[in-house]
């Protein structure tokens, strides 16, 4: 409800009226929790209440609006209406029924997380690697991280140009302590390139998937952890397992999990230095090398603490 209240507040502010988020949220909660009004109906009732209070026409509130075109890196305020010209860098699996699509958008300035609500079903589905103009989307902030929301009043306009996505190179050193689910031999949707879950795409349903190889891992440097993502080329070079070999292994064992188990045996517990673009919580690894410093330090400690060998008389 807080998110809905912020969006309502932002729209009234555009019309020159300041309504406190807390006041909107209180009325929403009263309708939903006390009177059991459905959330969408409660939203309409609260909006109509303030429209009447401030003598604003419905057509002014709900009518088409032109919002400022901004860069991803310039989004530093919560509850603003903006437009964005961006490329779909990554799509993730949506884990809530209220969410249609979720992932990363990027432009020349950097990247930002996006969420497309399921209620925006009339809008076109975006595809990984394609570029669009996203009109009338809202900004959101959580724990210092900004994102954008695509709702049913937004517009998604495909464009043919290829937008170069900017990023800040990041380096991280540590041990790989976990290989996450969704790693190893996977299948992707031929339409939108997202990973299939039980043979189905969240947008396109049951499809004949295309095989791919990837690793989603967690690294630990002793103070903090970092999620990393290795694409097919990096995974093949690091593990020595090609995509064709992975498919053969899975076919022989009648189980794709053998590939994941092999990858875990080769990577977990070993130290690496990774470099790549930091996108949301992931580092998209461009280079990865084994780090022998921790091994040398451990050997040095063992030698230092070992009992001295008695010299021969």
The pLDDT, as a whole number, for residue 291 is 87
Same domain, 191 and 290: yes
**Do the Cβ atoms of 104 and 89 come closer than 8 Å?**
yes
The more confidently predicted of residues 14 and 55 is 55
pLDDT over 70 for what percent of the chain? Answer: 92
Q: Which of 10, 14, 22, 23 is nearest to 53 (CA)?
A: 23
Exposure of 236 by Cβ count < 10 A (0-12 exposed, 13-18 middle, 19+ buried)? Answer: middle
177 occurs within a structural domain: yes
Average pLDDT over residues 115-131: 92
Which residues, in sequence order, are CB contacts of 50 under 8 Å at separation 6+?
8, 12, 17, 19, 24, 56
Which residues, in sequence order, are CB contacts of 42 under 8 Å at separation 6+?
28, 31, 32
263 occurs within a structural domain: yes
Please state the pTM of the whole predicted model.
0.56
The pLDDT, as a whole number, for residue 24 is 92
Q: Which of 3, 208, 249, 201 is nearest to 115 (CA)?
A: 3
305 occurs within a structural domain: no
134 occurs within a structural domain: yes
Same domain, 245 and 175: yes
The domain total for the chain is 3
49 occurs within a structural domain: yes
311 occurs within a structural domain: no
pLDDT tier for residue 90 given thresholds of 50, 70 and 90: confident
The more confidently predicted of residues 85 and 168 is 85
204: domain CATH number is 2.40.50.140
pLDDT tier for residue 49 given thresholds of 50, 70 and 90: very high
Residue 7 belongs to domain spanning: 2-62
Same domain, 191 and 282: yes
Same domain, 294 and 173: yes
The pLDDT, as a whole number, for residue 16 is 81
**Do the Cβ atoms of 267 and 239 come closer than 8 Å?**
yes
308 has a pLDDT exceeding 80: no
pLDDT digits (tens, 9 = 90+) for 246-285: 999 999 999 999 999 999 999 999 999 999 887 767 888 9
Same domain, 208 and 264: yes
SS3 220: strand
DSSP state of 30: I
Beta bridge partners of 188: 195, 210
The pLDDT, as a whole number, for residue 299 is 59
164 occurs within a structural domain: no
- Final residue belonging to a domain, choices 15, 47, 62: 62
- Final residue belonging to a domain, choices 12, 46, 62: 62
Same domain, 80 and 188: no
Average pLDDT over residues 141-148: 83
Same domain, 292 and 187: yes
62 has a pLDDT exceeding 80: no
pLDDT tier for residue 309 given thresholds of 50, 70 and 90: low
The pLDDT, as a whole number, for residue 284 is 87
Q: Average model confidence (pLDDT) for the chain?
A: 87
Q: Which of 195, 118, 146, 93 is nearest to 102 (CA)?
A: 93
pLDDT digits (tens, 9 = 90+) for 206-224: 888 999 999 999 999 999 9
**Do the Cβ atoms of 199 and 182 come closer than 8 Å?**
no
pLDDT tier for residue 306 given thresholds of 50, 70 and 90: low
The Cα 310–Cα 313 span in angstroms is 9
The pLDDT, as a whole number, for residue 307 is 56
- Final residue belonging to a domain, choices 42, 62, 82: 62
CB atoms within 10 A of CB 168: 10
114 occurs within a structural domain: yes
SS3 199: coil
Question: Can you state the angle between helices 2-14 and 21-29, rounded to 10 degrees?
Answer: 130
Same domain, 96 and 10: no
Same domain, 116 and 221: no
Same domain, 294 and 175: yes
């Amino acid at each position: 409800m807080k998110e809905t209240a912020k969006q309502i507040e932002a729209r009234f502010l555009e019309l020159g009226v300041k309504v406190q988020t807390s006041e909107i949220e209180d009325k929403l909660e009263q309708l939903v929790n006390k009177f059991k009004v459905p959330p969408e109906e409660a939203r309409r009732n609260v909006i109509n209440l303030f429209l009447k209070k401030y003598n604003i026409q419905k057509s002014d509130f709900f009518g088409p609006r032109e919002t400022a075109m901004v860069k991803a890196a310039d989004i530093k305020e919560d509850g603003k209406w903006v437009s964005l010209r961006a490329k779909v860098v990554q799509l993730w699996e949506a884990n809530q029924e209220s969410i249609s699509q979720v992932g990363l958008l990027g432009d020349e300035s950097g990247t930002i997380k996006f969420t497309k609500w399921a209620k925006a079903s009339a809008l076109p589905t975006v595809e990984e690697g394609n570029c669009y103009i996203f009109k009338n989307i809202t900004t959101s902030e959580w724990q210092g991280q900004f994102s954008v929301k695509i709702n049913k009043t937004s517009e998604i306009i495909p464009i043919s140009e290829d937008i170069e996505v900017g990023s800040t190179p990041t380096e991280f050193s540590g041990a790989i302590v976990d290989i996450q689910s969704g790693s190893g031999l996977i299948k992707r949707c031929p339409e939108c390139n997202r990973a299939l879950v039980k043979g189905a795409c969240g947008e396109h349903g049951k499809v004949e998937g295309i095989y791919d190889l990837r690793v989603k891992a967690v690294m630990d440097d002793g103070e903090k952890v970092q999620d990393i993502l290795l694409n097919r080329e990096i995974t093949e070079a690091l593990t020595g397992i090609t995509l064709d070999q992975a498919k053969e292994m899975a076919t022989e064992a009648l189980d794709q999990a053998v590939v994941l188990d092999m990858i875990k045996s080769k990577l977990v517990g070993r130290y690496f230095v990774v470099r790549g673009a930091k996108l949301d919580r992931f580092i998209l690894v461009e280079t990865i090398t084994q780090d022998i410093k921790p091994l040398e330090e451990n050997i040095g400690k063992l030698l230092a603490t070992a009992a001295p060998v008695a010299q021969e008389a």
